Amino acid sequence: MPRIGVHIMEIYNFFFSNTELIIFGILLLAFIYQIYFYSRYLNGVLRLKRKIKNNKVSFSTEQPPVSVIICAKDESENLKKFLPFVLQQAYPNYEVIVINDGSTDQTKDLLTELCKDYPNLRTTFVPIGANNLSTKKLGLTLGIKAAQNEWLLFIDADCMPEDRYWIARLARNFNKNTEFVLGYGSYFQKEGFVNRLITYDTLFVGLQYLGMAYAGKPYMGVGRNMAYRKETFFKNKGFASTLNLQSGDDDLMVNKAANKSNTKIEIAQDSITCSEPNTTYKSWFYQKERHLSVSSYYTAKSKFRLALEPLSRGFFYASFLLALVFGNPITMISTGVLFFIRLLVQILIINRSSKHFGERNYFLTLMLFDIFLPLVSLYILTIGRITSNGKSNRWK
């Protein structure tokens, strides 16, 4: 037996150099984690979909009263277009509270008129010139305090539910143990490369936070489609610890208080909300920068899990290229097989999930975005933080 081991090592040393073995070893480890990540987390929506189809998921039949909270700043056109979809939900008992966050457009007049037609609409406001870095958090706090119901649903002013059963779908997850319900928020599809980039990024992030929550590791939600208890908000002292931050009214609340036993996800097609997308790369970049600006305040476990995926992705691509340059034919073929398997897994999971949410398919652009988006995030989290020096002070 010892002689067999020696012969195997001699064969390895004959066909593979130490450099090749190291490169291929890194590639293999990165490949294994990437497959695990896609199967464990990004595939979560599809796993839950199968369980629901096979009647292995139980939902509550109760429909407790809910309060829908919307904070708006100079959003009169969007409110005029989208607010009626929220006010006309097929749900027996709910109120809609719109907080006018110091708007200087026609928001106040529009809300006054809408209140005449919709008795379930209530309004409050943040005074113009309020001395808070995040007046949105102040506005949301005022709305939450004014809410008459325990369950709070959140949606943005430039956003609409895609169906009249949006509230009902989220509400079917409400039970005595649930404190958070996370939904999927998409963007309207437009023509052009920038919109394709935005919708892919939104889909990937959505599959990630929904999948991690489904796996018992919730770390964020989006304020345009989520719900939590009023009691939970005050138990965790609301936004008191994040008032010094421009962003984080949604993800930091989830990151702080959500766990595997109190969090559910809702993936039904009629639970989706859809928002107006940015139309230029620059505006999308600023939005991405704002979202990432609070990631350093996530828990250590969340930051570790979130760092592993792009790190393993980077090692995968880097070792793939090195193997093609320095590898022999056997190494190159093995490398190509691993690359193809990962790409196939990506295409299947991403596009099947995208189809479920009514999004577009990604093939040629998938690899481009797969490489480009982590580089954007890396730039924002390193060089971008140094050069911005706190200049990004956008409301949303």
Query: pLDDT, tens digit, for every residue of 163-179?
Result: 999 999 999 999 999 99
Q: Rounded distance, CA 302 to CA 295, Å? A: 9
Q: Rounded distance, CA 312 to CA 123, Å? A: 48
Q: Which of 147, 139, 59 is nearest to 97 (CA)?
A: 147
* Paired residues of 72 in beta bridges: 100
CATH dotted code for 48-291: 3.90.550.10
Average the pLDDT over 139-155 and give the result.
96
Span 68-107, pLDDT tens digits: 999 999 999 999 999 999 999 999 999 999 999 989 999 9
Q: What is the DSSP letter of 218?
A: -
Q: Rounded distance, CA 238 to CA 152, Å? A: 13
Give the residue extent of every domain in the chain: 48-291
What share of the chain has pLDDT > 90, as a percent? 81
Q: Which of 293, 222, 221, 303 is nearest to 262 (CA)?
A: 221
Q: What is the DSSP letter of 276?
A: P
Q: Is the confidence at residue 2, as pLDDT, over 60?
A: no
Q: What is the pTM of this model?
A: 0.92
pLDDT confidence bin for 249, thresholds 50/70/90: confident
Q: Are 208 and 43 in contact (CB under 8 A)?
A: no
Q: Which helix (H) or strand (E) holds 96?
A: strand 94-101
The pLDDT score that the predictor gives to residue 248 is 86
The set of long-range contacts for 144-148, using a CB threshold of 8 Å and a minimum separation of 24, is 144/69, 144/230, 144/233, 144/238, 146/97, 146/122, 147/67, 147/69, 147/95, 147/97, 147/230, 148/65, 148/67, 148/95
Tell which wins on pLDDT, 226 or 132: 226
The pLDDT score that the predictor gives to residue 19 is 87
Backbone angles phi, psi at 181, to 5 degrees: -130, 125
